[in-house]
Amino acid sequence: MREFFILLKYGASNVYSQRLSSKKKKYNSFKNQLILSLLGSLPLGIVVFFFTKDLFTKLYSVDPQISKLMFLFWITILSLFFIVGYLGMAMYSLSRNEEIEFLLTLPIKRRTLTIYQIFVSTISQLFVLSFYFFIYLSYMIVSKENIIFGILKLFVHFLFLISFSSVIAVLLGGKTNKGIVRKINVLISLFAIFFYFLIISFQNVNMDQVQSLVKFFDFTTKPYNILAWSFISNKLFIFALLLSILFTLVFSILANKLAFEPVERKTSKNYKIKGYGTVMKAIYRKDLKATLRYEQFLYFVLYPIGFGIFFSFINKDYFVTLFTVIPITTFYVAFETAILTNAEFTNLQTILTYPVKFTTLMIPKIIIPTSINLLIVLSVFMFSAFKTNLSYLIVPITFLLFSMSSIIGMYFVAKNPPKTENMNRIFGIGQTFIIEGITMGLAFGSILPISFLINPQTSFKMRIISILIMIASIFISSVISVFTFKKLKKHLELSLEN
Amino acid sequence: MIKAKNLTKKFKDVIAVDHINIDVPQGQIFGFLGPNGAGKTTTIRMLTGTLKPTDGEVEILGLNLKKHEIEIKRRIGVVPDEPRIYSHLKGFEYLEFVMDIYRINNKETLSKIEDLCNAFGVNYLEKMISDMSHGMKQKLILISVLMRKPEVVFLDEPTVGLDAKSAKILKELLKNYAKQGTTIFLTTHILEIAEYMCDVIAIINNGKIITQGTMEELKKQTGDENKTLEDLFLKLTAQEEDIKHIVESLSR
Ligand SMILES: Nc1ncnc2c1ncn2[C@@H]1O[C@H](COP(=O)(O)OP(=O)(O)OP(=O)(O)O)[C@@H](O)[C@H]1O
Ligand SMILES: [Mg+2]
């Protein structure tokens, strides 16, 4: 157990990459991954909670059975998401990879490693888990189910899903690689966003339609729907419990034999060496590759876009969309810049030998994340369209916010150059909160007032206050940008002296 | 080709390099030896413009390093002590990147790459650098430097991690380059390499160059022509007695 918590605390990959600093780590540390995904999934979960509670209440008043059908249907879909996502992750993490290779040399029991990897794989599905939890919570409240029994059902349900998928993961282990895992996870995220719309769309249909629709979900209550066994009936619940125990036993036997077997790796031999033309092109191409090849890049893009589209669907006031999208993207800019900057700093001794000024190498780190996120914001804009002249203000303000965020991200890396290319070591937890506070706070401060200014009903006093807050936020952002930039320059020069 | 006067580097509390003078003429292979932490890497970093000296002047290819940093960097080649490069690139993408930033995107370079890959047995250019071993990366960096035919080459312990064949090829290749006029500055812990390859050897200890000369000159210093470079090295760096004591106490 102690070993398990040590692994959790430092993250297996951190223990690993500290020893083998030149190798790239495979996962985010548990702690940072948890925080990032919590930040992402909790707000969505809460929104889902209120929507589903509303819907369940309506359905329940018509016919409790219908609300149960609806609930089971969603649980079935989510369970499917969970299994697919979990399988991808577990198949990879339960087979031999560089991290495992190192961990196996440590005095840690194989079983502890297995439990750790299962835990990490489960946590990787936090998105789905959060939906799960909140949908279940709203259903429990509406159907006034016994809490203890309710929790027990949920627990058995997950035990069932995890033990079942783990057995399959071990059996299929070694057939997957990081690329596949990444693709599966992106797909799951996409499905999750789609799932949102599904839930939201139920909000506007009338009850008659729902009732006929729900008939279509009837299959979810049938005994063959193993993905919802724990919730269908008490008899099936016991069945799920027994099977979970069986699967757990099978898994523990299999894991001892099969877990951490070598992975198959495929790479294409086809390539042709050719230059890109100019120094600048080469530098930008390289950084663009680094951005696109970063494991979580798709998440960085899809999350704000999905979020933005989602909000513009449920809310007629497009400003709500911008409040959510701009602060999120502002924060991501810092993160993306840091990732790119980190790649230079870890390889500094080689990079400084290039006949290129260090600043030339650093500028794309600001330009690329800023442009990508500006594109994201603009594409979300397309859904809501510019409505008044005032909203054009958003473009320069966003640009300012992004530049600031980017400079801050670079500054933190330059100030404390990491020794490895380990991405989760980029920002400490403290730094994450500082960056988040500054970027998100100022983003709200400079965008939110615009919505008051546009609204014709806003009182004169409110208008003045809004303008003041906006000017103050913009001013502070500019000051922070300039100030941090100066400090950053100093640190960049310092890197030549040590 | 490589000149340093009073070159000095102070870190917070250590003087890593202490007023050293270096003069390497064209076509010479200069061996820079010394115990761990003696100041070899620090010296190379200052000579190649990746570390600002606390004091002293550096002249490479007849140009002042401070004034002509970029031009010098374009004409020299550096193989750092650790093979660290962009791990998100594939091997061939890294070579393309280097070709572009040195503006040597031409047929000649391409055929040079092919020759060097064959020589070092590099058949993994499609791999992600993050998936390469230490030696594989080392060879990739060597190719990225040698394909440019730089006029001056600095190599910091270049054979670390290389297999026997690659190490041998590297040694012969460097000797050939020197014959053709390339100036080579090399650090190593393997005294046989120094003895075999270097025209002039300097020994640095605690930041100071304690002796310098051709193999013959160094041997004369010991007073005994039969003594090896190893004997001399240990004697000069005052480690001879140490070793006896250490071995005795450990064998007890
Ligand atoms: N960035 C730095 N900050 C502080 N001290 C440093 C730094 N780099 C090197 N030093 C110190 O300078 C001294 C010389 O180090 P250097 O790396 O030049 O040794 P070296 O001769 O290359 O050793 P090795 O054979 O182990 O590679 C050492 O005492 C080292 O601790
Ligand atoms: Mg060294």
Q: Given a cut of 90, is residue A321 above it in pLDDT?
A: no
pLDDT in tens, B6-15: 999 999 889 9
Cβ atoms < 10 Å from Cβ of B25? 12
Mark yes or no for CB contact B125/A354 under 8 Å: no
Who lines ligand 1 at CB under 6 A?
A 498; B 11, 14, 16, 34, 36-42, 81
Residue nearest atom 28 of ligand 1, based on CA coordinates: B37
Average pLDDT over residues A292-321: 70
Average pLDDT over residues A399-427: 79
Which atom of ligand 1 sits closest to the CA of residue B189?
25
Question: Which pLDDT does position A317 carry in this prediction?
Answer: 63
- Identify which ligand lies nearest to the alpha carbon of A417: 1
Mark yes or no for CB contact A352/B84 under 8 Å: no
For residue B14, report the distance from its CA to the centre of ligand 2, in Å.
Answer: 15
Question: Which pLDDT does position B59 carry in this prediction?
Answer: 95
Greatest mean pLDDT among A5-14, A117-126, A167-176, A441-450: A441-450
Q: Given a cut of 70, is residue A265 above it in pLDDT?
A: no
Mark yes or no for CB contact A271/B92 under 8 Å: yes
* pLDDT tier for residue A15 given thresholds of 50, 70 and 90: very low
Give A24 to chain B, closest Cα distance, Å: 6
- Given its phi and psi angles, is residue B56 left (phi above 0), alpha (psi -120 to 50 degrees) or beta? left
* pLDDT tier for residue A253 given thresholds of 50, 70 and 90: confident
Q: Given a cut of 80, is residue A33 above it in pLDDT?
A: no
B143 chain-A contacts, CB cut-off 8 A: none
What's the one-letter identity of residue A44?
L
Question: Which pLDDT does position B33 carry in this prediction?
Answer: 93
For residue B207, report the distance from its CA to the centre of ligand 1, in Å.
Answer: 9
Task: Please name the residues in contact with B188: beta carbons below 8 A apart, sequence gap of 6 or more.
Answer: B31, B33, B157, B158, B159, B194
Task: Please name the residues in contact with A78: beta carbons below 8 A apart, sequence gap of 6 or more.
Answer: A128, A131, A132, A135, A195
For residue A11, report the distance from its CA to the centre of ligand 2, in Å.
Answer: 31
DSSP state of B132: S
Closest CA to A73 of A279, A268, A222, A266: A222
Question: How far from B95 is each of A364, A487, B140, B163, CA to CA, in Å?
Answer: 20, 34, 8, 22
A174-188, A245-259, B20-34, B193-207: which has the minimum mean pLDDT? A174-188
Cβ atoms < 10 Å from Cβ of B89? 21
Average pLDDT over residues A409-418: 85
Instruction: Compute, in degrees rounded to 10, the torsion defined by CA atoms B127, A299, A92, A100.
Output: 80
B101 chain-A contacts, CB cut-off 8 A: 279, 282-283, 354-356
DSSP state of B163: -
Which atom of ligand 1 sits closest to the CA of residue B207?
14
Question: Which pLDDT does position A23 carry in this prediction?
Answer: 34
Q: Given a cut of 80, is residue A315 above it in pLDDT?
A: no
For residue B207, report the distance from its CA to the centre of ligand 2, in Å.
Answer: 12
Site of tokens 């349900």: A157
Which atom of ligand 1 sits closest to the CA of residue B34?
21
Mark yes or no for CB contact B73/A355 under 8 Å: yes
Higher-pLDDT residue of A421 and A66 is A66
Question: Which pLDDT does position B208 carry in this prediction?
Answer: 92
For residue B144, report the distance from its CA to the centre of ligand 1, in Å.
Answer: 25
Residue in chain B nearest A280 by alpha carbon: B101
Question: Which pLDDT does position A131 carry in this prediction?
Answer: 84
Mark yes or no for CB contact A283/B141 under 8 Å: no
Q: Given a cut of 50, is residue A28 above it in pLDDT?
A: no
Mark yes or no for CB contact B70/A279 under 8 Å: no
Structure tokens at B205: 């200890």
Average pLDDT over residues B27-43: 94
Q: Which burial class, exposed, middle or buried, applies to A223 when counting CB atoms under 10 A from its CB (0-12, 13-18, 19+)?
A: exposed
Q: Which burial class, exposed, middle or buried, applies to B103 when counting CB atoms under 10 A from its CB (0-12, 13-18, 19+)?
A: middle
Average pLDDT over residues A451-460: 81
Question: Which pLDDT does position A27 carry in this prediction?
Answer: 41
Which 3 state secondary structure label does DSSP give B7?
strand
Question: Which pLDDT does position B29 carry in this prediction?
Answer: 96
Residue in chain A nearest B11 by alpha carbon: A498
Q: Given a cut of 90, is residue B39 above it in pLDDT?
A: yes
Q: Given a cut of 90, is residue B102 above it in pLDDT?
A: yes
Question: Which pLDDT does position B186 carry in this prediction?
Answer: 94
For residue A496, report the distance from its CA to the centre of ligand 1, in Å.
Answer: 15
A17-21, A32-36, A267-271, A325-329: which has the minimum mean pLDDT? A17-21
Question: Which pLDDT does position A260 carry in this prediction?
Answer: 66
> Which residues on neighbouring strands pair with residue B202, listed in sequence order?
B32, B212
* pLDDT tier for residue A417 given thresholds of 50, 70 and 90: confident
Q: Given a cut of 90, is residue A198 above it in pLDDT?
A: no
Q: Given a cut of 80, is residue A329 above it in pLDDT?
A: yes
- Return the CATH class of domain B2-84+150-213: alpha beta
Task: Give the closest of B50, B90, B131 to A349, CB-based.
Answer: B50
Question: Which pLDDT does position A388 carry in this prediction?
Answer: 57
Domain extent listing, chain A: 2-17+26-257, 288-497
A282 chain-B contacts, CB cut-off 8 A: 96-97, 100-101
Task: Give the closest of A279, A343, A348 to B101, CB-based.
Answer: A279
Which atom of ligand 1 sits closest to the CA of residue B17?
14
Task: Give the closest of B105, B125, B137 to A271, CB-based.
Answer: B125
Average pLDDT over residues B237-246: 74
> Which residues on neighbouring strands pair with residue B185, listed in sequence order?
B30, B154
Question: How far from B107 is each of A283, B101, B102, B104, CA to CA, in Å?
Answer: 21, 16, 14, 9
A80-89, A282-291, B99-108: which has the minimum mean pLDDT? A80-89
- Count helices and strands (H / E) in chain B: 10, 10
**A364 touches A331 (CB < 8 A):** no
Closest CA to A323 of A281, A371, A380: A380
List residues in chain B touching A: CB distance below 8 A: 11, 45, 48-52, 70-71, 73-74, 78, 80-90, 92-93, 95-97, 99-103, 105, 110, 113, 125-128, 130-131, 134, 137, 141
What's the one-letter identity of residue A198?
L
List residues in chain A touching B: CB distance below 8 A: 22-24, 265, 267-271, 273-279, 281-283, 285-286, 289-290, 293-294, 343, 346-350, 352-357, 421, 496-498
Q: What's chain A's average pLDDT? A: 78
Indicate if the alpha-carbon torsion angle B190, B195, B200, B201 is positive or negative: positive
For residue B198, report the distance from its CA to the centre of ligand 2, in Å.
Answer: 18
A133-147, A189-203, A208-222, A339-353: which has the minimum mean pLDDT? A189-203
Question: Which pLDDT does position A98 carry in this prediction?
Answer: 62
pLDDT in tens, B49-78: 999 999 999 999 999 999 999 999 999 999
Mark yes or no for CB contact A282/B82 under 8 Å: no
Q: Given a cut of 60, is residue A264 above it in pLDDT?
A: no
Question: Which pLDDT does position A38 carry in this prediction?
Answer: 77
* pLDDT tier for residue A173 given thresholds of 50, 70 and 90: low
A354 chain-B contacts, CB cut-off 8 A: 73, 101-102
Give A485 to chain B, closest Cα distance, Å: 22
pLDDT in tens, A89-100: 777 777 666 667
Instruction: Compute, in degrees rounded to 10, the torsion defined by CA atoms B161, B167, B170, B175.
Output: 130
Mark yes or no for CB contact B70/A357 under 8 Å: yes
pLDDT > 90 fraction of chain A, expressed in percent and rounded: 14
